[in-house]
Amino acid sequence: MKKPFVIISFATLFILIYHLAPYIGVSDEFVIGMFILSPFILLYMVYVILKFGKPSEFTFDEKFYDDTDHECTGD
């Protein structure tokens, strides 16, 4: 499903524009509006990731951090 990718891309673009807005001459009212809107976009992104995201195929005992190949060497 491509929905998480679209929402994550939109939220990332929104934050990028928000951070660049003072440097590209956007009005203060627009920046304040983006500031007020940003928590809702973040919460919606978290909701979409938790609802439609793909869970890891490994357990914590198999791989404690999914982005690397480190294996858990617990007792």
User: Is residue 47's pLDDT more than 90?
Assistant: yes
pLDDT of residue 58: 76
pLDDT of residue 70: 60
> Are the CB atoms for 4 and 49 separated by under 8 Å?
yes
Helices 28-52 and 3-20: angle between axes, nearest 10 degrees:
160
Q: What is the mean pLDDT of residues 13-31?
A: 94
Q: What is the DSSP letter of 54?
A: P
Sign of the Cα pseudo-torsion (63, 69, 70, 75, in order): positive
* Distance of alpha carbon 74 from alpha carbon 65, whole angstroms: 14
pLDDT of residue 17: 95
Percentage of residues in the chain with pLDDT exceeding 90?
Answer: 55
Q: What is the mean pLDDT of residues 47-62?
A: 81
Would you state the structure tokens that stand for residue 65, as one six-digit string?
A: 């951090």
Hunting for tokens 């005992």 — which residue is that? 61
User: Is residue 2's pLDDT more than 70?
Assistant: no
